Structure 1
Amino acid sequence: MGWFLFIVLSLLAFHFPSEIYSLVPLCNHDDASALLSFKTSFSLEEHFFADGSCESYSAKTESWKNGTNCCLWEGVSCDTKSGHVIELDLWLQWPSSLSTFDLSYNNLLSLTSNDGGRYTFSDLEYLNLSSCNINTFPNFFSGLKILRSLDLSRNQIHGKIPKWFNRMGKDTLSSLDLSHNLLTSVKYLSLSWTNLGYIDLSFNMLEGDIPVLPFSIVFFSVSNNRLTGHISSAIFLDMQGDNFSGSIPKTYLEIETLETMNLNGVLDLGGNNMQDTFPIWLESLENLEVLVLRSNRFNGIVNCFKLNNSFPMLRVFDISNNNFSGKFPTTCIKNLKGMTVNVNNGLQYMKAEKHSSRYYDSVVVTIKGNTLELERILTTFITIDLSNNRFEGAIPTFIGELKSLKGLNLSHNRITGVIPQTVGSLNNLEWLDLSSNMLMGEIPNASTNLHFLSVLNLSQNQLVRMIPKGNQFDTFQSNSYQDNQGLCGWPLSKSCHMDKNQSTNSTTFEHNEQFGFGWKPIAIGYASGRVFGILLGYVIFFILKPEWSIRFLEGILNQRLSRKRRSRS
């Protein structure tokens, strides 16, 4: 019986591999030769870690050997019918034990030569050469006629983009990533690809005008460059960190040419030198979810009055570090319907529907007092940042309706009035910064209902009386309340026992005022009544002189005279 099972298992062992390999197409001979020639231009180097240690890892190209089926090589995919190579992915395979991944130390592959004219991959559709230490554009790219996606990010490609680059995948290319290189010019980049939807040129040294974009564009990023000019049509715009100057023309986003996106719309113009008023026409973008105008020179008032439902999907509203002035932008914030509904969909990121595998937008925001760059935006990340402007007026009470708000920063403005009790309704709030304003009154006790609040800054205002106690308020330090001369209680060194009775009386008066019966109406009524009484007496006794008053006085005089006569007698 044992020998029988051994024979059966042996037959199965030889049978299944043959069945599996029969499903794999035989590689085209010309494509295999081209890949082997291509392999010779790579050199394997060691990987050095930050602690000085080094270790060698094998690249995918080590499985590329003459006499074997190239369709079984790592990083190579073939058409199941023709056997032609249609996809080439040389992204390095890292061991599962690697916990730290720092691209600045990875030099495993080096493309040392540019003798690529003999390489022919006529059927290649997807090419990923990210982080391969390439320093020039390989010439064989010009022969990639049906290429759909090209990723050359995080290399050392320098200089200008060559003229022949535009001939690559002219009718098919939809995704192009040249980010994190050393490119200096886009002069010959015409962007004439008819289906191009994703372009990432960020983190280079590009200068000159921004290239004219096709109407098919969905994502365009040129952040951290030195470009100038303006863009005619795009949905996802990321120009953070450019030396972009001037105003935003309405053609920057032509409403009639915008493609409607169901999941995301991001407009990030942060960190430039733009000088303009608030672009009110942006409120027409119904699907805009992220609006970042931070760190520019925008000025004037901020109003949203053209539409009744402005920015209904907005989740990030950041116009900090500008020169905006005037009243608190109530008309804009009251329409932020996307912030009024609690979002509980787990760790999901904002992304474009058509390019979900490629798009992870990044924005620079201030979180809990620290300026950070978010490489991916959680759908639950909902914030308002109006800090470092010159807004005036009171915080509106409807701010408490923004239930899903995670962060609120109104610091360094000229906001007056009191902190509304409705702030206590922001159940998801994690950081609140109202510092460096002119707020008065007490800290509302309802604020202790903010169970997720981890950062609070109310410093440099005119707040008074006892600091509320309980829940998160027991964890905040004195720097959250400093430079408020009227505040007392823990964690401040100033005790509140001297003001306890005053605080109790004040609370009673405030309670009565809610029902219209406080001390102010009483004082006003008393003063008015006294003045009215004096005037009425003067009119009656000295002007009208009625008969009954004369008889009354004569009677009093007669009584006094009679008393004197009796006393004399």
Structure 2
Amino acid sequence: MVIGKLALFLLYAFLCQLVFSSSLPHLCPNDQALALLQFNHTFTINGFDASYRSYYPKTVKWNRSTDCCSWDGVLCDEMTGQVIELDLSSSQLRGKFHSNSSLFKLSNLKRLDLSDNDFFESLIPPKFGELSSLTHLDLSHSNFTGPIPAEISRLSKLHVLSIKSHSYELRFEPHNFELLLKNLTQLRELDLSFANISSTIPLNFSSYLTTLDLLNTQLYGILPEGVFHLSNLESLDLSENPQLTVRFPTTKWNSSASLMELYLRSVNATGRIPESFGYLTSLRTLRIASCNLSGSIPKPLWNLTNIEDLDLDDNHLEGPISDFFRFGKLWWLSLGNNNFDGQLEFLSFNRSWTQLGKLDFSSNFLTGPIPSNVSGMQNLYSLILSSNHLNGTIPSWIFSLPSLAGLHLNDNHFSGNIQEFKSKTLTRVSLKQNQLQGPSPKSLLNQRDLHYLVLSHNNLSGEIASTICNLKTLQVLDLGSTNLEGTIPLCLGEMSELMILDLSNNSLSGTINTTFSIGNELVVIKFDGNKLEGKVPQSLINCRYLEVLDLGTNKLSDIFPKWLGALPELQILNLRSNKFYGPIKDSRTDNLFAQIRVIDLSSNGFSGDLPERLFENFEAMKITSDNSGTREYVADIYENFYTSLIVTTKGLELELPRVLTTDIIIDLSRNRFEGHIPSIIGDLIGLRTLNLSHNVLEGDIPASLHQLYVLESLDLSSNKISGEIPQQLALLTSLEVLNLSHNHHVGCIPKGKQFDTFENSSYQGNDGLRGFPLSKDCGGDDGVPQTTTPVELDEEGGGDSPMISWQAVLMGYGCGLVIGLSIIYIMLSTQYPTWFSRMDVELEHKILTRMKRHKKRH
């Protein structure tokens, strides 16, 4: 009896223990905890910034005294205690990721997220392919680099794979992308944005795929139509692959019921938007900008009543703008740079757009006024109507929109005064290139959060109010060409956030007394086209980020401010049409003006020799880059603001609306420079324009100029340059304009290539020049000179010196040629050293010509 009760008790105790133990999770095994700690110890932690709540050091509290299953970012299996999930995203880990990392001991991992850390350009270890239980792997934005290992394609259970990169830091080896898609048949989400795939897109995709993101991956070829027929596809992004041709299905897509997001910006989808788009009834986001699309919007598209985000920018689409009011759920509408037309009157009765946040109709053909009464757009934060044909006054309701942050109405025909601003939210205002008039409204100068203020090319009046300096957050201030007068406010140099300061083409006077504070952010300063006097302020040396300094066309009087060359980023220096004077002394300081690309000192009073040592410092001019790649611009730092510059090139005064980094220009014309042209200029092989005209330069053209193989404009006119035009200049195949007029050149004009295109005006005022296109013949078809200008003896030789005739030269013709030339050389090398070398060349041409004629006759 006792034994029976004991047995029952033991059985009860065992069952209780079993139930109790099954209700508690197992503790993390020691080997798992050790692997995690070893992994963590290979990294340091970035400083914690509480303002970024999603970024925090999850591993900082890991320690042996607690169960690893309770550690932040760690999840264990409830039955075994094995680590099955590790989320260390945005954990501020820094350091090398080793190929034999202890992380790979966690063989039961199903989910692994290491995104948004800094692994110091480590390679992705192939051992990731050994974590065969993984269903989710995210290595994005963690500074991995190099090839994506083929071993990743072994993870056949993956549902989610994300290896987003930064600017092609990661790449696929040939055929590995195809192998990945072939093996990962369970994939639901694939994101390889900015990884360098450089491949066509294969046909085989997981049928479970819901998200495919291949943004900016250098794909090419034709997109298989099967991608549009993935029946579970919800989001497709193939944007920024300009070599990828996309042909939309003309019939119903298999994905039409599920597809909610379609991003195809900057692919080649030439043609019309097909009517099949009308089947995409679940579509919320449609962004097909910069795709070469044309024609009108197909009627079925208006049936997509769920559209919230529509971007058709930068195409060739056409039709009335009013049709778009049919989309009642829009919060983002961007139709810029197309051929849409019509008026904006539909805005006044489209009260359903209460949720609209962005409205961009810029660069179209819209006409008429902005409606005077519009209600309902209480959430509008960006209104962009620039570059159209809109007119009338700017209605006051715009300045009362409670959420408006960006207002861009530039390049239209608006007139009247600028209304008083009632908005407290405006940060960006651009009203340039209109017919607005009157003083700047005081309320505009009280917008304390304003970052961007562009009012240029209007008919404003009055002075620049010093209260403008109350705009402490201002980054761009453009008041150019607005008829302003008075002086420049002293406080402008103390605006610590200001990057662009443009006061050009006004009637500002006085001296530049502005003190530019230490640590300022200025990149562009344009004071050109005013009536400013005095010297260049020394405080400009505090503008360490300055790329453009334009003080041209003023009344400044100073010596050359060579100290500006110490500004490390300076690329454009324009001092043209002032009263600068004196010599530009050679610099013994290295790296002065090392980044300069455009230097214009024309129409001043500079004198003395050209600054040879300064030219040696122009390192940026010693590099060439072709125009076939991406076009880069100087001071291209702020969207919709372009730095313009007036230059003299190819015989014309032109305004460059934007300055390419390849626009390399030296203009020292209309001064009093003297001496020789330094041969060191031939080292500046990036030069596109060289203008040394209207000085008193002398000597020969250095033959080293033939090294300027991208030179497009060469102007040496109105100097005292002598000697022959170097034959090597015929190698300048990019030369479009040449002006050597009004000098003392002699001899034959080079033949061939560009020199066959220049007209008489390139050489007029050089009586000693012969050859095409001048009327004085220089040679036959074989290019051998037939006549030449008689050589004048040096007058310093005196009247008793015998005149040497061509007959004297020819006394050695025939068997005595060598003896005759030797006699002449001995005679002349002592008496006529200044002209003998030039005469020797002419003698050689003459003799060769006559020898050829003699040979033909016999």
CA contact (8 A) 2:631 2:660 kept: yes
| Compared CA separation, residues 132 and 481, structure 1 to 2 (3 A) | closer
Q: Does 1:91 align with 2:91?
A: no
Unpaired runs of at least 5, structure 1:
26-55, 78-82, 95-105, 507-511, 528-569
CA contact (8 A) 2:747 2:789 kept: no
Aligned pairs, how many? Answer: 454
CA contact (8 A) 1:163 1:188 kept: no
In 2, the alpha carbon distance for the partners of 1:420 and 1:232 equals: 43
> Which residue in 2 is equivalent to 1:164?
443
1:463-478 aligned at under 5 Å gives the runs: 463-478=745-760
> Structure 2 residue aligned with 1:145, among 398, 419, 424?
424
> Structure 2 residue aligned with 1:124, among 392, 404, 410?
404
| Compared CA separation, residues 90 and 59, structure 1 to 2 (3 A) | farther
> Structure 1 residue aligned with 2:589, among 288, 307, 328?
307
- Structure having greater relative contact order (Cα 8 Å, sep ≥ 6): 1
> Which residue in 2 is equivalent to 1:62?
346
| Compared CA separation, residues 320 and 92, structure 1 to 2 (3 A) | closer
1:61-460 aligned at under 5 Å gives the runs: 62-65=346-349, 67-72=351-356, 75=359, 85-91=379-385, 106=389, 108-111=390-393, 120-130=400-410, 131=412, 133-139=414-420, 141=421, 143-168=422-447, 170=448, 172-185=449-462, 186-187=464-465, 189-211=467-489, 212-213=491-492, 214-228=495-509, 229-230=511-512, 231-233=514-516, 234-251=522-539, 253-255=540-542, 258-260=543-545, 265-305=547-587, 307-346=589-628, 348-352=631-635, 354-355=637-638, 357-460=639-742
| Compared CA separation, residues 307 and 195, structure 1 to 2 (3 A) | farther
Q: CA deviation at 1:201?
A: 0.3
| Compared CA separation, residues 61 and 240, structure 1 to 2 (3 A) | farther
Map Cα deviations across residues 338-395 of structure 1 (whole Å, 9 max, x no partner).
111112254624243541x132111111111111111111221111111111001101
SS of residue in 1 equivalent to 2:564: helix
1:555-566 aligned at under 5 Å gives the runs: none
Q: CA deviation at 1:235?
A: 3.0
In 2, the alpha carbon distance for the partners of 1:134 and 1:425 equals: 53
SS of residue in 1 equivalent to 2:613: helix
| Compared CA separation, residues 453 and 121, structure 1 to 2 (3 A) | same
Residue identity matched to 1:371:
E
Per residue, is there more helix in 1 or in 2? 1
In 1, the alpha carbon distance for the partners of 2:643 and 2:586 equals: 26
| Compared CA separation, residues 90 and 425, structure 1 to 2 (3 A) | closer
| Compared CA separation, residues 203 and 15, structure 1 to 2 (3 A) | same
Q: CA deviation at 1:90?
A: 4.5
In 2, the alpha carbon distance for the partners of 1:259 and 1:283 equals: 11
In 2, the alpha carbon distance for the partners of 1:384 and 1:199 equals: 29
In 2, the alpha carbon distance for the partners of 1:490 and 1:112 equals: 61
In 2, the alpha carbon distance for the partners of 1:526 and 1:124 equals: 82
CA contact (8 A) 1:86 1:126 kept: no
| Compared CA separation, residues 523 and 137, structure 1 to 2 (3 A) | closer
Q: CA deviation at 1:337?
A: 0.9
| Compared CA separation, residues 410 and 14, structure 1 to 2 (3 A) | closer
Q: Does 1:493 align with 2:775?
A: yes
Q: CA deviation at 1:65?
A: 2.1
Residue identity matched to 2:353:
N
Q: CA deviation at 1:120?
A: 3.8
In 1, the alpha carbon distance for the partners of 2:257 and 2:637 equals: 48
SS of residue in 1 equivalent to 2:438: strand
In 2, the alpha carbon distance for the partners of 1:86 and 1:73 equals: 4
Q: Is 394-403 or 476-485 further displaced after alignment?
A: 476-485
In 2, the alpha carbon distance for the partners of 1:397 and 1:223 equals: 36
Q: CA deviation at 1:499?
A: 3.0
SS of residue in 2 equivalent to 1:380: coil
| Compared CA separation, residues 385 and 13, structure 1 to 2 (3 A) | closer
> Which residue in 1 is equivalent to 2:38?
none
| Compared CA separation, residues 147 and 518, structure 1 to 2 (3 A) | farther
In 1, the alpha carbon distance for the partners of 2:642 and 2:280 equals: 46
SS of residue in 1 equivalent to 2:349: coil
Q: Is 267-276 or 313-322 further displaced after alignment?
A: 267-276
In 2, the alpha carbon distance for the partners of 1:500 and 1:132 equals: 62
Q: CA deviation at 1:312?
A: 0.8
| Compared CA separation, residues 93 and 312, structure 1 to 2 (3 A) | closer
In 1, the alpha carbon distance for the partners of 2:678 and 2:826 equals: 25
Q: What is the TM-score with the length of structure 1 in the denominator?
A: 0.72
| Compared CA separation, residues 375 and 304, structure 1 to 2 (3 A) | farther
CA contact (8 A) 2:643 2:659 kept: yes
In 1, the alpha carbon distance for the partners of 2:824 and 2:679 equals: 22
In 2, the alpha carbon distance for the partners of 1:392 and 1:520 equals: 34
Q: CA deviation at 1:249?
A: 2.0
Q: CA deviation at 1:501?
A: 11
In 2, the alpha carbon distance for the partners of 1:14 and 1:430 equals: 53
In 1, the alpha carbon distance for the partners of 2:584 and 2:452 equals: 37
In 2, the alpha carbon distance for the partners of 1:125 and 1:437 equals: 56
Q: CA deviation at 1:279?
A: 1.0
CA contact (8 A) 2:354 2:378 kept: no
Q: What is the TM-score with the length of structure 2 in the denominator?
A: 0.49
Q: CA deviation at 1:427?
A: 0.7
SS of residue in 2 equivalent to 1:133: strand
Map Cα deviations across residues 455-499 of structure 1 (whole Å, 9 max, x no partner).
111111111122222221122222211221222222222234343
In 2, the alpha carbon distance for the partners of 1:483 and 1:221 equals: 42
CA contact (8 A) 1:244 1:273 kept: yes
Q: CA deviation at 1:155?
A: 2.7
CA contact (8 A) 1:289 1:313 kept: yes
| Compared CA separation, residues 136 and 484, structure 1 to 2 (3 A) | same
In 1, the alpha carbon distance for the partners of 2:399 and 2:553 equals: 43
Q: Is 157-166 or 284-293 further displaced after alignment?
A: 157-166
In 1, the alpha carbon distance for the partners of 2:383 and 2:551 equals: 33
| Compared CA separation, residues 487 and 69, structure 1 to 2 (3 A) | closer
Q: CA deviation at 1:521?
A: 10
SS of residue in 1 equivalent to 2:769: strand
SS of residue in 1 equivalent to 2:720: coil
RMSD over equivalenced CA pairs, Å: 3.7
What percent of counterpart residues are identical?
Answer: 35
